[in-house]
Structure 1
Amino acid sequence: MHTILLVEDNEMNRDMLSRRLTRNGFRVLTAEDGRLGVDMAIRERPDLILMDLSLPVLDGWEATRMLKESDDTKSIPIIVLTAHAMSGDEEQAYQAGCDDFDTKPVDLSRLLGKIQAALEKSRQQE
């Protein structure tokens, strides 16, 4: 069973997405801010991280950079989730080190496809 760390500050979004991912066979860990997300990723070593960009304490951009700069977590795929997809956000997310990018509201089938692709790519790189 793959473990996903969901870093999302909105409780309703976190709960809804967590339940939907669990029903699809994933173990889901959650963090409500970027600092907790980084700490949890280091401690738990999830198979994949879903990272919101607009987070308190430490935003998703900086949390992604920190995780990708650390030898301990740089190989964990990160898919950025954002409700505020502005022109240039996707490119900026890739520059920060994310592996994929998706928008909210979440289209679960599209997101599941991106998760599977990222996990497969990660497995091939091991």
Structure 2
Amino acid sequence: MKTCLVVDDSRVIRKVARRILEDIGFDIAEASDGLEALAWCRAAMPDAVLLDWNMPVMTGIEFLKILRAEPGGERPTVVFCTVENDVDRIREALDCGADEYIMKPFDGDIIAVKFAEAGLT
């Protein structure tokens, strides 16, 4: 089974994303910020990361830059899931190594489609 690390400082968002992703066949791990996510990835690199941008301690974009430089860090498919909707911000995320981008609020259909487009399902 594929694994997905859900990284968001909102416990509610993590729980909603967990339920959706488990329904489409993923094992889930959770992190509340980029630093915690980095520790998860260093212990066991996931197949996918659903990543928020605005978080305390380490933002999603900071996490992504470090992840892509880690051994094996090029492997996870990273899907940003954020309220950031400025075209320049989306381009920045993609330029830093994100594979897909989802706007909040999201639902199960949006996640399923984006994960399929990214080749995860």
Same fold at TM > 0.5: yes
**Separation (CA, whole Å) in 2 of partners of 1:43 and 1:116:** 26
2:112 aligned residue: 112
Would you say the 8 A contact 2:47–2:75 is kept in 1? no
**Separation (CA, whole Å) in 1 of partners of 2:76 and 2:84:** 24
Q: Secondary structure, in 3 states, of the residue corresponding to 2:118?
A: helix
**Separation (CA, whole Å) in 2 of partners of 1:85 and 1:14:** 20
List per-residue Cα deviations over 1:38-97 (Å, max 9, x = no partner).
110121211100110001110000100111112321121101111131231110101211
Equivalent position amino acid for 1:45 in 2: M
Would you say the 8 A contact 1:42–1:72 is kept in 2? no
Runs of 4+ in 1 over 6 A off after TM superposition: none
Structure 2 segments unaligned to the other structure (5+ residues): none
2:86 aligned residue: 86
**Separation (CA, whole Å) in 1 of partners of 2:16 and 2:111:** 14
Percent identity reads 26
Q: Secondary structure, in 3 states, of the residue corresponding to 2:119?
A: helix
1:68 aligned residue: 68
Structural RMSD (CA)? 1.6
Q: Secondary structure, in 3 states, of the residue corresponding to 1:88?
A: helix
**Separation (CA, whole Å) in 2 of partners of 1:23 and 1:112:** 10
1:55 aligned residue: 55
Taking structure 1 as the reference length, what is the TM-score of the superposition?
0.88
Name the structure with the higher helix share. Answer: 1
2:96 aligned residue: 96
Q: Secondary structure, in 3 states, of the residue corresponding to 2:105?
A: coil
2:37 aligned residue: 37
Taking structure 2 as the reference length, what is the TM-score of the superposition?
0.91
The aligned length equals 121
Would you say the 8 A contact 1:81–1:103 is kept in 2? yes
Structure 1 segments unaligned to the other structure (5+ residues): 121-126
**Separation (CA, whole Å) in 1 of partners of 2:114 and 2:42:** 23
